[in-house]
Amino acid sequence: MIGLPTSSPEVVSPARETRPNWLSRAVNAVRKRPSAAVGLFVIAAFVVLAVFAPWISPYSTSSPTGPIYAAPSASHWLGTNSLGIDELSLLIVGSRISLLVGSCAAVVAGLIGGTVGLVSGYFGGAVDVVLMRTTDFFIVIPPIPLMIVIAAVWGPSLGHIILVIGLLLWATTARVIRAQTKSVRQRGFVKRAETLGERSARTIVRHVLPQVAPLLLANVILTVALSIFYETALDFLGIGDPTAVSWGTIIQNAFLETATSNGAWWAIVPAGLAIALVIISCYLVGQALEDALNPRLSGGYLLVRPWKLRPLTGREAEDL
């Protein structure tokens, strides 16, 4: 009997049974929380809008199609801006850059944070200490001044903005992934792989990563919200790509061209609402996922990302 391949489920399945099915839990979590489902719908709607923007937008975004600061009307639903460019078209086309920068920066942050978290949590010891001290450094540093300084020296370009935001927002993700990796590492199937002499890199990719991936995804979605927030801030300060149309530059333009003293609320209100809608949606979806995947993390104080790893309730970050 020994050594013979067997199809009997009792022999094959124990290894699998110890692995909780994260995906179904995640799907359940979204299903159980109507707010998360709404968030998912809003994100999907904005993505469709961004993809088909050139075909949906009614007017050109580079040349004036109406009078300066025209109020909303039948021909210009959201009025026009200081150059007579249609605001609705700007809003639709602007969604492309905002969503692109937001998601790309979040992916960069997710890659760095995920790698640091996996390596740190898996190997422990000196590697862990060094990586976690680096992470602490990035948690403490205020992001906006650092982003401004780097972007100002680097010069304005879309790629630079994505990198700057991504390079500064990975720290919380690294912490969460590290904690999860540490707990996954204790499970039987990882121990088994180690005992069988599998290389560490292979163990991490084959056995640990699949368990951590959904949580990583949740964190990437949460980081999208933050990235969009920072992207609009950098655009507003004139550090973003000056030629690109984004929600951030719409607000910047309204500010520089004194839309407020012209009473042109239509040049300001829609862009801010769109940003807030996307941020809230990412937030609701990401938080629902994270709560479902890591029950020990759930708790409202985790709502506030920058502080989520602080010992707010007397527990150490390690206890997460």
Partner 1 sequence: MNRSAADYALRRGALALVTIFLVVSFNFVLFRLLPGSFVTNLSHIPNATPAFRRAIAAEFGLERSKWEQYIIYLQQLLHGNLGVSYANDRPVLSNLTTDIANTVPMVSLGTLAAIVLGTLTGVASAWRRRTVVDHGLTGTALAFYSFPTQWLGLMLILLLGSVLPTSGMHTPFLIGAPWWKSALDELHHMILPSLTVMLTLLGQYTLVVRSATLEAMSEDYVLTARAKGLRGSRVLWRHVVRNALLPVTTLVALSIGFIVGGAILVETVFSWPGIGLAVYQAVSERDYPMLQGAFLLLTISVVVCNYLADLLYFRLDPRVAR
For residue 226, the surrounding DSSP H or E stretch is helix 209-236
Give the number of other CB atoms < 10 A from CB of residue 138: 19
Q: Round to whole Å and give the CA distance between 207 and 22.
A: 14
Structure tokens at 156: 């304005």
Query: Which residue of 146, 158, 167, 209 would you call a contact of partner 1, by CB under 8 A?
Result: 146
Interacting stretch for partner 1, rule CB under 8 A, among 13-21, 49-57, 143-151, 167-175? 143-151
Burial of 194 from C-beta contacts in 10 A (0-12 / 13-18 / 19+): middle
Q: Round to whole Å and give the CA distance between 148 and 234.
A: 7
Interacting stretch for partner 1, rule CB under 8 A, among 76-84, 107-115, 202-210, 258-266? 258-266
Interacting stretch for partner 1, rule CB under 8 A, among 68-76, 122-130, 165-173, 257-265? 257-265
* DSSP label of 35: H
Q: Does the protein bind partner 1 through residue 145 (CB under 8 A)? A: yes
| Minimum distance from residue 283 beta carbon to partner 1 (Å) | 7
**Beta strands of the chain (E only): which ranges?**
none
Query: Which residue of 5, 9, 125, 142 would you call a contact of partner 1, by CB under 8 A?
Result: 142
Query: Which residue of 232, 249, 253, 294 would you call a contact of partner 1, by CB under 8 A?
Result: 232
In contact, 39 and 285? CB cutoff 8 Å: yes
Q: Does the protein bind partner 1 through residue 126 (CB under 8 A)? A: no
Binding site for partner 1 (CB under 8 A): 133, 136-137, 140-146, 148-150, 152-153, 155, 225, 229, 232-233, 236-239, 248, 251, 254-255, 259-261, 263, 265, 268-269, 271-272, 275-277, 279-280, 283, 299-304, 306-307, 310-314, 316
